[in-house]
Amino acid sequence: MIWHTPPQKSFPGVARFVVSPANYLDWRDQNHVFDQIAAIGFRSLTLTGMGQPESVTGAAVSADFFSVLRVRPSAGRGFVADDDQPGRDNVVMVSHEFWQSHFGSDENILGKTIKLDEQSYVVIGVMPPKFEFPSRVQLWMPLAWTDKERGVRGIHDYLVIARLKSGVDKEKAQAEMDAISDNLAHQYPTDDAGWGAAVVPLHESLVGSMRSALLVLLGAVVFVLLIACTNVANLTLAKALGRRKEIASGPRWVRAPGG
């Protein structure tokens, strides 16, 4: 993942920040270290036409999102560049769980329409079981930014993921992103002055915020285990001491005279 690093005087203590559309596009077009780079925006949507209106979680993604992750739909197709253009027909990909729960695993789902926020979307693909990225997302749709949205630089709303080119390590990628950030800060001082970029392994981005909690939990488990071991040791010792007393207070045999 590629995060913004915000100016500390404006965001004290904040190490990572989401990204604006214009900066993402500049990163994508100016870098030489990534095979592909994709943007992700969360969408809270209202599903209608299938019983009671229902709130569902969606993600608006750039066309190469699934390619970056090296994942293919289990049915249908993924997004192509034309899908990501404004004014195109609305298309959507659904999670395996959504396909099962809302369409009863209908094998003829491709080409069917669903209504999201009062707009019709054509289902073009079903993702594999257990694919959940970002977490809890049920639907994926193209970003399809307008020219005005593509020019937004000062509003940060998007996550960015990328895949390193073969032979490029994280340090080289970080150095290039630092150089691009410096250039953007000089070119757009009003919006980009003080803003940098951080290249972070995807796994670290996903679990890094939970690491402290997991370490605390692990410490608690070890502490409980030590208490249990101590209790077992105390019980064993108590039984041993009790047995020793029983042996010590048992009958004493006295040799009879002449015996």
pTM of the model: 0.79
User: Taking residues 140-168, what's their average pLDDT?
Assistant: 97
pLDDT band at residue 111 using 50, 70 and 90 as cut-offs = very high
Distances (CA, A) of 115 to 92, 183, 254: 10, 43, 99
What's the confidence (pLDDT) of residue 239? 66
Is residue 158 a contact partner of residue 21, using CB atoms and an 8 Å limit?
yes
Task: Cite the beta strand spans of 101-224 per DSSP E.
Answer: 113-116, 119-126, 139-142, 159-164, 196-199
Rounded CA separation 59/133 (Å): 9
The answer on pLDDT for 14 being more than 50 is yes
Q: What is the pLDDT of residue 206?
A: 75
Q: Is 206 exposed, middle or buried (0-12, 13-18, 19+ CB in 10 A)?
A: middle
CA angle 192, 197, 202 (to 5 degrees): 145
What is the residue extent of each domain of the chain?
2-200, 210-248
User: What is the percent of the chain with per-residue pLDDT over 90, rounded to a whole number?
Assistant: 76
d(CA 247, CA 138): 70
Q: What is the 3-state secondary structure (H, E, C) of 87-108?
A: CCCCEEEECHHHHHHHHCCCCC
- The lowest-confidence range among 2-16, 20-34, 106-120, 245-259 is 245-259
Q: What is the mean pLDDT of residues 13-31?
A: 97
Closest CA to 77 of 122, 121, 125, 123: 125
Q: Are 83 and 140 in contact (CB under 8 A)?
A: no
Alpha-carbon distance values, 4 to 44, 105, 133, 154 (Å): 23, 40, 20, 12
More confident residue, 64 or 233: 64
Mean pLDDT for all residues in the chain = 87
pLDDT in tens, 204-257: 877 655 444 434 434 444 444 555 565 655 666 666 666 665 555 555 544 555
**Three-state secondary-structure class, residue 228:** helix
> What integer is the mean pLDDT of 110-130?
97
Average of per-residue pLDDT across 20-27: 98
Q: Which two tokens stand for residue 143?
A: 């970003």
Q: Which residue is listed with tokens 């970080």?
A: 174
Q: Looking at the predicted structure, is the pLDDT value of residue 29 above 90?
A: yes
Contacts of 188 (CB under 8 A, 6+ apart): 153
Q: Tokens in use for 207?
A: 């679990």
Compute the half-sphere exposure of residue 29: CA atoms within 13 Å on the CB side of its CA. Answer: 7
